[in-house]
Structure 1
Amino acid sequence: MQKQSLYANPFALMMDPQAVLEAMERSERLNRLQSRVCRPLDKPLIPHVSSEGQDFDREVDASPDIAEEIQDETC
């Protein structure tokens, strides 16, 4: 009877972690769960940038700013 009240109180379970592990091993509901290991962060995805995109970026970076052109025209 005391085991029942122990399992009903989550704070009491922290005092007896071995009982928690044993209860998990005996649990039918936990054993029926489907599990799989997902490791999406093992290898970071580094996007491959095409040379066309790099050429466009260089062209945009090399061009003068539009804001500067507008400011020069208004002065």
Structure 2
Amino acid sequence: MQKQSLHTNPFALMMDPEAVLQAIERSDRLNRLQSRVCRPLDKPLIPHVSADIDAFDHEVDDAPDIEPEIGND
């Protein structure tokens, strides 16, 4: 009865994590699964920006901010 209640109640499984790990190790169905190791990319691939665009970006970033004049016409 104890085993059946553990399988049907996921909250009971949290009370006995060692039993869960043992069940995982004994599981034939899990052992038959094909597995693959997928690793995330350490560095995302960022496309190379041409020198002209890069120079324009620096020029815009370095330019002083111009505040619009509000006049009374």
TM-score range, shorter chain: 0.5 to 0.7
> Which segments of 5 or more consecutive residues in structure 1 lack a partner in the other structure?
63-75
Q: TM-score, with normalisation over the residues of structure 2?
A: 0.60
| Number of matched pairs | 71
Q: Deviations over 1:39-67 (max 9, x none)?
A: 224x21252222243356568888xxxxx
Which has a greater percent of helix?
1
Partner residue, 1:23: 23
Partner residue, 1:51: 51
RMSD: 3.2
> Segments of 4+ in structure 1 off by > 6 A?
58-62
Q: TM-score, with normalisation over the residues of structure 1?
A: 0.59
Q: Percent identity?
A: 72
Q: How does 1:56-67 map to 2 (within 5 A)?
A: 57=57
> Which segments of 5 or more consecutive residues in structure 2 lack a partner in the other structure?
64-73
